[in-house]
Structure 1
């Protein structure tokens, strides 16, 4: 049988979400010539019993603090024309668009595809951010995962299809009351700091460390690594999505420390930099409006309300740029959600 799509997933013992994940894959497995490969890192026999209801292709994997190695164990056994991966703590809302992508033959025109990860910040699903994730590609001998933490699937060739299909992801959810620091950060941060010691010139690693510190509200070190990462990113010829993240978050993280004046100065410096993209300017204007409100610099605040409007209209007209200029939590849709607060501030500033 010619397999169109290999679906691979890491499974630990998160039985509370695994059922939803597997059920969401049913339409893909039913409608497409596809296979499901599970890389099992858990120990619970109940978990395996549930997995066996969907696939017999199960790869036992002893966890070694390396997500890329674990995912590559599944990838190397894939037989599909295309490859898609997902985790056991997330599930698709609707896979109709992916099914149509393959059934129509449209997939033959592309080398890779993004779908959307809806990352929830609480277990009630009230707060979340959407971000495009490159988790689908044509399977070639060169396809692999890189980076032990926050791993990437490479190469993601062009042309690339951007799908509106999304997964619900509760992996970053925070409990209402904190008795201890987030277990993901306590796991990831030491590994990332070790990676940084080996490769101190990696802006991507700096971004990831800043993200981990931010997630537990340690904004001082988050600012330090964000600033360091942005300096390193600017030395590169190409502008990658991690530079976009660093551009937007440096003044925001400074704002969180309470130093509004420095946040304003840093934000204005970044806006003037020739590498700052339209999407970054849009998100930066949201932060600077809030900063100016706090500093009671209303005339300057109105300037950034106008900048928000200018960049919003530009990206609304140039939708391809709006899609391409995105990073984790930095999308056109996320900035659009700030429209009413920004415009309300504009009325106040007048």
Structure 2
């Protein structure tokens, strides 16, 4: 089969753990070139990448500019009028997926390409979750650039930073860079929060940076910071945001409120949690599954889950349409966890374990492996 010209770019910094795995997954797969763009590794990453030179891998070193967008834009400057496929060093392309990529690009051959961004399915093997709205494949023609110090996103810079035209393509990248051990060793939380602080200072009216600041530093933030951030997102949701981000302020608010409410509830700020739940119901236009989750956690924390509330939660869990609206877990794992906690409080641990055995595990500020973090005596 003759493939379209597609060039792979792998961003890397201190990735000796996984750079070989990443390269092994893309060499010999029909790509026109493979470039490792190193932004200042001090471990053996560069040596490992250089050892693949015989397989056509090119190592390019650039200084770290305190911005992932700047690094990706530098990579795009290396190419002209070709498809560029960004792969992170902690990702790898499973066998059989490259054919889906090339086949999908061939099917798009007659579409305008200058503003087109292709999003694969990125599967997080540690969290057993996936996203399919993060663009990774572009036609490098000078029209698309990245914005943002971290959690960067592409825009059509040739059109005044307008949103890219997103096409979701059914091919998969595996990812494991945010497992606890790796994240702690590479200090990813501290790195991201510092970069997000710079992004908020540079672009204070962009809701993206507030949302990711909440998400990435959730256990570390004070309730006061989270209330201020959520109030700012509420204000932003009242007007159309700009900057070329495909996600609007209202959606960032939907995603932020359930996260911030975990921290608030953990610190006992349950009245603020309930106010957030009201907003979530309003945003969904009906019963929000995440609001229901938070309210039932409040019941457990403050004295016990009434039979009527447990029954209502089970009813919601059975409604796939409602569950799919969740921004915490569209698969409903968080609802399963709180249902199991309610069963344990009422019927005992054996019954709860039977339910847990049928469900995928859930972890957040309230649960670890679907077991509530509170002392069991508080659930009586």
Q: In structure 2, the residue corresponding to 1:78 is in which secondary structure?
A: coil
| Residue 309, structure 1, aligned to residue 313, structure 2 | no
Cα distance in 1 between the residues matched to 2:312 and 2:226: 23
Given that 2:9 and 2:75 are in contact with CA atoms closer than 8 Å, whether structure 1 keeps it comes out as yes
Cα separation, partners in 2 of 1:240 and 1:15, compared to 1, 3 Å: farther
- For the residue of structure 2 that corresponds to 1:82, the secondary structure is strand
Rg larger in structure: 2
SS of 2:33's equivalent in the other structure is: strand
Q: What is the distance in 2 between the residues matched to 1:117 and 1:38? A: 20
For the pair 1:340 / 2:336, whether they are aligned, the reply is: yes
Q: Distance in 1 between matches of 2:202 and 2:137?
A: 30
2:35 maps to 37
1:247 equivalent in structure 2: 257
Residue matched to 2:275: 266
CA distance in 2, matches of 1:132, 1:190: 26
- Partners of 1:109 and 1:243 in 2: CA distance: 37
Higher relative contact order (CA 8 A, sep 6+): 1
CA deviation after TM superposition for structure 1 residue 168, in Å: 2.1
Deviation for aligned residue 1:65: 0.8
Flag structure 1 segments of 5+ consecutive residues without an equivalent: 317-321
What is the aligned partner in structure 1 of residue 85 from structure 2? 84
Cα RMSD after superposing both structures? 3.7
For the 8 Å contact 1:117–1:131, the answer to whether it is kept is yes
Q: Of the candidates 202, 206, 215, which is equivalent to residue 202 of structure 1?
A: 206
Deviation at 1:164, TM superposition (A): 5.8
Q: CA deviation at 1:315?
A: 5.7
| Unmatched 5+ stretches in structure 2 | 157-162, 241-247, 348-380
Q: CA deviation at 1:38?
A: 1.9
Aligned residues: 322
Q: Deviations over 1:5-29 (max 9, x none)?
A: 2221212232111111111223xxx
The Cα shift of 1:70 comes to: 0.9
Cα distance in 1 between the residues matched to 2:269 and 2:322: 30
CA distance in 1, matches of 2:90, 2:224: 29
Q: C-alpha distance in 2, partners of 1:136/1:143?
A: 12
1:103 deviates by: 3.0
Q: Secondary structure at the match of 1:25?
A: coil
Q: Normalising by structure 2, what TM-score?
A: 0.70
Q: Judge conservation of contact 1:241–1:326 (CA < 8 Å) in 2.
A: no
Q: Given that residues 5 and 81 in structure 1 are in contact (C-alpha distance below 8 angstroms), is that contact kept between their aligned partners in structure 2? A: yes
- SS of 1:332's equivalent? coil
Query: Structure 1 residue 188: deviation in Å?
Result: 3.1
Alpha-carbon deviation of 1:339? 4.9
CA spacing shift, 1:101–1:75, aligned 2, 3 Å: same
CA distance in 1: counterparts of 2:153 and 2:91, whole angstroms? 17
